[in-house]
Amino acid sequence: MDLTTIKQAVIEGDDKQLANLTRRALDEGTSAETILNDALIVGMGEVGELFEQGEYFVPELLLSARAMQSAMEVLRPLLSASSYEPLGKVVMGTVQGDLHDIGKKLVAMMLEGSGFEVIDLGTDVAPERFVETVEESGAQVVGLSALLTTTLPAMEATVSALREAGPVKVKVMIGGAPVTSAFASSIGADGYAPDASSAVALARRLVGK
């Protein structure tokens, strides 16, 4: 079977078709690794390019990510663990006192679509909850969001709590309307992302991938 068909189904975000095509390719003797590397990952790469070029918006990106997940469910039992390791684990949340959700949710969805494992703690998250979750999950990155000027101090308190927590050298990235690069530096965060796409690039950089 021509792997271009599978790649195309990823680009079109056709989850039902993609799972069937993946099964068919396996039945015809194509290895799971080949389907993953030469069709699914290549397809998601093209989706990312279409997004960067303004041809795709977030909904298309999410559809393709969902389609890729449906194919991965078929492939996962056949792949060695190292073949499908996530790029990294990210704990996301909107800081204490702030109820704004969608910006953080968008970053979480785009991180997942790019191959990260994401633990989304929701909104109004206390510093100690971030610390506990990082300790329990072994996450390499924490993403903090805030929309209100009055919750920027909570962002600083969360970074301090994470730094004081001990041995885990977790990287912290921050974003939200009132946040700036200078503010990120001033509170000891490892990076600032002005939008969701930049957040994905920043997370990749923070985990060295």
Partner 1 sequence: MRYHSLTIPDPQDLVFGRAPLPLACGFGLELGAGAVFPEVNFTLPPIAITDATWPDILAQYREMTEGVLLRAQALQVPGIVLEFEHLPPMTSRPQWGAEITAILCQLLEQAHEATGLPSALRATIVDLRHERRPPQLRDGPLWETMRRSFADCARAGGHILSIESVGGKEVFDEALLRGDVRGLVLALGVLAPRDMAWLWQRIAEIAEASGAIAGGDSACGFANTAMQLAGQRLLPEVLAAVVRAMSAPRSLVAFENGAVGPSKDCAYEGPVIKAITGRTISMEGKSATCAHFSPLGNVAAAACDLWSNESVQNVRLLSGSAPQAFAESLIYDCRLMNEALRRGQERWLRDLLVDSDQYQSPQALVISPQASVAIAKAIVAAPTDYQRCIAAAQTAAGLIREAVEQGKLRLSPVETRWLGRIESGLAGLPSDEGKLLEETAAEYANLFDRASYGM
Spatial contact of 203 and 116, defined as CB atoms under 8 Å apart? yes
Dist. CA 30–CA 32, nearest whole Å? 7
Tokens of 135: 């300790």
Q: CB of residue 9 vs partner 1: minimum separation in angstroms?
A: 18
DSSP 8-state class, residue 177: T
Q: Where are the alpha helices (DSSP H) in 54-101?
A: 58-75
Told to check if 158 binds partner 1 by CB under 8 A, we report: no
Tokens of 12: 């079109």
Q: Which stretch binds partner 1 (CB under 8 A): 28-36, 48-56, 77-85, 127-135?
A: 48-56
Q: Which stretch binds partner 1 (CB under 8 A): 23-31, 59-67, 69-77, 126-134?
A: 59-67
Dist. CA 119–CA 177, nearest whole Å? 22
Told to check if 129 binds partner 1 by CB under 8 A, we report: no
Told to check if 54 binds partner 1 by CB under 8 A, we report: yes
The binder of partner 1 chosen from 11, 75, 154, 193 (CB under 8 A): 154
The binder of partner 1 chosen from 5, 8, 20, 153 (CB under 8 A): 153
Told to check if 138 binds partner 1 by CB under 8 A, we report: no
The binder of partner 1 chosen from 122, 128, 160, 201 (CB under 8 A): 122
Told to check if 106 binds partner 1 by CB under 8 A, we report: yes
Q: Would you say 38 or 60 has its CB closer to partner 1?
A: 60
> What's the chain's length in residues?
209
Helix (H) or strand (E) holding 119: strand 117-120
Told to check if 188 binds partner 1 by CB under 8 A, we report: no
Of 95, 138, 100, 99, give the one whose Cα is nearest residue 117: 138
Spatial contact of 127 and 158, defined as CB atoms under 8 Å apart? yes
Binding positions for partner 1, rule: CB under 8 A: 54-60, 62-63, 97-99, 101-102, 105-106, 109, 122-124, 148-150, 152-154, 178, 195-196
